[in-house]
Every structure is written in structure tokens, then in C-alpha cells.
Amino acid sequence: MWKKWFSKSGEVTKIPEVDLIDPTRIPQHVAVIMDGNGRWAQKQGLIRTFGHRAGVERLRDIVKAASRLGVKALTAYAFSTENWKRPDEEVNFLMSLFSEYLDTEIEELHQNQVKIRFIGKIDELALNLQHKIENAQARTSENTGLILNLAVNYGGRAEITRAVKIIAEKVQTGELKIEDISDNTIQNNLFTGELPDPDLLIRPSGDLRISNFLLWQSAYSELWFTDINWPDFKPEHLVQAIIDFQKRDRRFGGIKK
Ligand code: FPP
């Protein structure tokens, strides 16, 4: 099914703007905050969980589109360390949705060479979900296609705090000297490890904030916001975000040559 994407007879013909993309400058790492599920559902008189279910469908589409466009890594924010504050009913629904996703999607992801990773405090999740996550990661670990990072029980501050603790322990045991601590030491102890920083960070739903997502890694990410809620976010919006990204002048604090 995926093979049809962007082939002459496939979906690409429905996204004419794809021709405006420079294939040599595709963002290597795209991050997305899958926001607006609740508002999308409520606008239609549905309960919020319908929005989350629709959100899974969009994730499926965007994983395929990103993969076919040549994006190397996609990181999607699915559940933050702050989302536990939501009513138990919604939290439980989301946890079962992650579990269901792993049951139903892993085979197709694997067939399409997607390497799935979870970032966040996975050890705080229910044991059966942890096992499914471990199995999915192990199953797809050798895959060479898109790296799909799902951020679950993830928080940027918690991630940095965790990295600081790991580093402090190494200093305490004498494994590491204070003067040898660099940006790289911190970077390497984040959940994203050696993955390059996101080039492009997308937030749908109209809210203009980062919400504790990839705080360290997004230092020089290009931000792209849209009023569209995540359940309405289509591959053409990803294409538009990439076109806009390619128009940006990225200087990383330097000056233009
Ligand atoms: C934010 O929208 C969305 C979430 C907290 C959950 C995101 C989860 C999914 C899209 C499910 C798919 C994920 C996987 C990994 C299967 P919101 O609920 O805060 O919406 P609102 O801001 O309109 O209330």
C-alpha cells in the first residue's frame, strides 16, 4: 500500500504542491505536537476520546507521508508528563489506544522498514504496555527506514533533569570530570540520544507554544504553526510545512555568507 505513495498513480498526484519541494533539502528530523484532538471532537458534539482515535489515523497518514518524502526521523508527542492531570477516563483511554496501536500497526510499520522508538519515562507506564513497547522496539530495531519516535510520558524538563542526574552520578563515581561536561554530554544523555535535533517542529491547533516538548533539542528548530486541529492534519499540510521550511534562512546564530 505504501509503495503507491508519491508514485505516478498514487497519492502524490493529489498534492500538486509536492513539486515545489526541493528533494535535496528535506528536513531530516520532523517533530510534531499532535494537539487539538479534544477541540476537534467537541466541535462536532463528540466526546474528546473520538478526537484521540481520529488522531491515530492522522498519525498513520503522516508517518507514511514523512517516510515517502524522505524524512529520516519523525517524533510525535502523544502524552506528556503533565497529561496525567486529565480525568482518569481520558488517561486510561489514551493508554489503551497506545496499546491497541502497537497491536494493530506494528506489522505494517515493520513491513515498511519503520524503526519505532518510545521516548519518555516508559518505566512509569503499566507493565503490559511496557512489554509491548519493548517488543515493538526490538522487532523493528534493525529496520533502516523512517525512525518513528513516540513521546509518551515525556516532558522536556523531566528529560533534562534525568540527564543531569545521570551525569552527576558519573561525576560522583569519578567516571566523568566536571571540566569534560559539554553540550554533547547532555545531548547524549537525553532520550533522543544520537538523533539529530529536529529541523522542523510542527504544532497544529492554533496554540503558539512548545508545551515542554524537546526543549533542549528544539534550540534551532524551525517552528511551524497552523490553526488546523491534529485530526484534520493531512499530508498536504506536512508538504506545506516543508515548503515553508525550505524558504527559511537558517543561520544557527551565525550570519549569512
Ligand atoms: C493533545 O490534544 C493530544 C493528546 C494529549 C493525545 C495525543 C494522542 C494521539 C494523537 C493518539 C495517537 C498516538 C499514538 C501513539 C497511538 P488535546 O487532547 O490536548 O486536544 P485539545 O487541546 O483540543 O483539548
Q: Residue 10: inside a domain, yes or no?
A: no
Q: Is 180 a catalytic residue?
A: no
Please tell me the predicted confidence (pLDDT) of residue 14.
61
More confident: 108 or 14? 108
| Tally: H helices and E strands in the chain | 7, 6
Q: The CATH number of the domain where 220 resides is what?
A: 3.40.1180.10
Q: Residue 177: inside a domain, yes or no?
A: no
For ligand 1, the distance from its centroid to the CA atom of residue 22, given in whole angstroms, is 31
Three-class SS of residue 154?
strand
Confidence of residue 13 (pLDDT cuts 50, 70, 90): very low
Q: Residue 187: inside a domain, yes or no?
A: no
**Mean pLDDT, rounded, for 157-186:** 98
Three-class SS of residue 78?
strand
Domain count for the chain, please give it. Answer: 1
**Mean pLDDT, rounded, for 158-178:** 98
For ligand 1, the distance from its centroid to the CA atom of residue 132, given in whole angstroms, is 20
User: Residue 40 CA: which ligand 1 atom is closest?
Assistant: 23
Average pLDDT, the chain: 94
Please tell me the predicted confidence (pLDDT) of residue 15.
83
Instruction: Please state whether the predicted TM-score (pTM) of the whole model is above 0.85.
Output: yes
Q: Residue 30: inside a domain, yes or no?
A: yes
Q: Residue 65: inside a domain, yes or no?
A: yes
For ligand 1, the distance from its centroid to the CA atom of residue 182, given in whole angstroms, is 35
**Mean pLDDT, rounded, for 162-168:** 98
**Mean pLDDT, rounded, for 146-169:** 98
Least confident segment among 16-25, 138-147, 214-223, 231-240: 16-25
Q: How far apart are CA 135 and CA 129, in angstroms?
A: 10
1 has pLDDT over 80? no
**Mean pLDDT, rounded, for 228-247:** 97
CB 166 within 8 A of CB 176: no
60-95 per-position pLDDT tens digit = 999 999 999 999 999 999 999 999 999 999 999 999
Q: Give the residue numbers spanning the domain of 104.
A: 26-157+197-205+213-247
Q: Residue 176: inside a domain, yes or no?
A: no
Please tell me the predicted confidence (pLDDT) of residue 201.
98
Ligand 1 atom 18, closest CA = 38
Q: Residue 73: inside a domain, yes or no?
A: yes
Q: Residue 227: inside a domain, yes or no?
A: yes
Q: Which residues line ligand 1 (CB under 6 A)?
A: 34-39, 52, 55-56, 59, 78-79, 83, 94, 97-98, 101, 150, 205, 230
Please tell me the predicted confidence (pLDDT) of residue 120.
98
Q: Which of 32, 33, 37, 227 to mutate to test the pocket of ligand 1 (most atoms within 8 A of CB)?
A: 37
Terminus-to-terminus CA distance in the chain, angstroms? 44
Q: Is 35 a catalytic residue?
A: yes
184-212 per-position pLDDT tens digit = 999 999 999 989 999 999 999 999 999 99
For ligand 1, the distance from its centroid to the CA atom of residue 54, given in whole angstroms, is 9
**Mean pLDDT, rounded, for 54-58:** 97
User: Residue 90 CA: which ligand 1 atom is closest?
Assistant: 18
Three-class SS of residue 156?
helix
